[in-house]
Amino acid sequence: MAMAYTKANAAKVEDLLLEAGYHLRVGKGAFRSNYCLVKGSPIILINGFLKGEARYFVMLDLVRQLPINTASLTEHGRALYSKIKP
């Protein structure tokens, strides 16, 4: 299910990644995919040149791609995760 971009939805997706144990950092750089996963650690670098809607869609893609243990999520987190990744 596609979630429309709003600041509230962006904050929810960011909170979901944090709840899943990932640390988001914003940095200016030339990441080919607009983000970089630090090997061997739960750190995600998001391109600082991305703003608003673009950053939101990158975070949605990350939720779909990254291994997330749903057992460690809160009930609200699991509901949001099921909306993003069916």
**What's the pLDDT tens digit per position in 3-14?**
899 999 999 999
Q: How high is the pLDDT of residue 54?
A: 92
What's the gap between Cα 85 and its chain centre? 12
* 2 falls within a domain: no
* 50 falls within a domain: yes
Q: How high is the pLDDT of residue 60?
A: 94
Domain carrying residue 49:
7-84
Look at the chain and report how many structural domains it folds into.
1
* 1 falls within a domain: no
Cα separations (Å) of 84 from 2, 32, 41, 72?
A: 7, 23, 23, 17
**Dist. CA 40–CA 52, nearest whole Å:** 28
* 45 falls within a domain: yes
**What's the pLDDT tens digit per position in 15-71?**
999 999 999 998 887 777 788 888 889 999 998 888 899 999 999 999 999 999 999
